[in-house]
Chains A and B, each alone.
Chain A
Amino acid sequence: AQSVAQPEDQVNVAEGNPLTVKCTYSVSGNPYLFWYVQYPNRGLQFLLKYITGDNLVKGSYGFEAEFNKSQTSFHLKKPSALVSDSALYFCAVRGREGGNMLTFGGGTRLMVKP
């Protein structure tokens, strides 16, 4: 079965510093990978996706993610964090074995401090 792991429950970073939120996945065949963000009392919002091609994917709000096939990872990054980036981040994967099912990781809370 396909699965996603987000090894960190929380990531703390100072404003202006680079941030990384980690994600690893397990799926048969080529993966379709997604990052979503959730602000308090809101639904999930799409940030970016990897389908094929360039391993570095750019998304909304200055976020980017790097796909690494050999390490089965899809880490979310941003060069300079903002306090407003503080939220809950979810990595998700779709694979052929799961049909069109989207499987989510447990989420990582990002705290950006001034």
Chain B
Amino acid sequence: NAGVTQTPKFRVLKTGQSMTLLCAQDMNHEYMYWYRQDPGMGLRLIHYSVGEGTTAKGEVPDGYNVSRLKKQNFLLGLESAAPSQTSVYFCASSYGGVMNTEAFFGQGTRLTVV
């Protein structure tokens, strides 16, 4: 029962470095999402995907890129990390096309940019 798995769980980056966060789900879900969680601001949607090969911008997409080459994987990239991107990142997935289905979340990635 893996569900949604995020890699890595923790990371410290220097300003200007790049990295990729990996999200994998084994539930055959169509939709996948990347959120960031900051104190007092809840979860804000960065990018999402409604199916393999498709991506779309969420509320706060600047500074991030994503790819969905395989249905089960959703990658979040930071090309040039900035301290403002220090946050906890959550990946989620859900069945597609039906708005009444709940999303399943990964354990989160704590990213610090120094």
Contact = CB atoms under 8 A, between A and B. Distances in A.
How many B residues touch the partner, as a band? 20 to 34
Contact of B42 (A34, A51, A105): A105
A43 B58 CA distance: 20
A27 to B, nearest CB: 11
A49 B99 CA distance: 11
Given A43-B90, A45-B105, A106-B40, A32 B100 contact: yes
Contacts of A43: 4, 90, 105-108
Interface string A72-114: 0000000000000000001000111000111111110000000
Interface stretch (B43-51, B63-71, B75-83): B43-51
A90 B106 contact: no
A34 B108 contact: no
Nearest to B107: A43
Nearest to B90: A43
Contacts of A96: 99
A100 B107 contact: no
How many A residues touch the partner, as a band? 20 to 34
Interface in B15-65: 31, 33, 35, 40-45, 48, 50, 58
B72 interface: no
B97 to A, nearest CB: 8
Contacts of B100: 32, 49, 51, 94
A104 B42 contact: yes
B42 A90 contact: yes
Contacts of B102: 34, 46, 49
A46 B42 contact: no
Given A100-B96, A100-B99, A44 B90 contact: yes
Interface of B: 4, 31, 33, 35, 40-45, 48, 50, 58, 90, 92, 94, 96-97, 99-100, 102-108
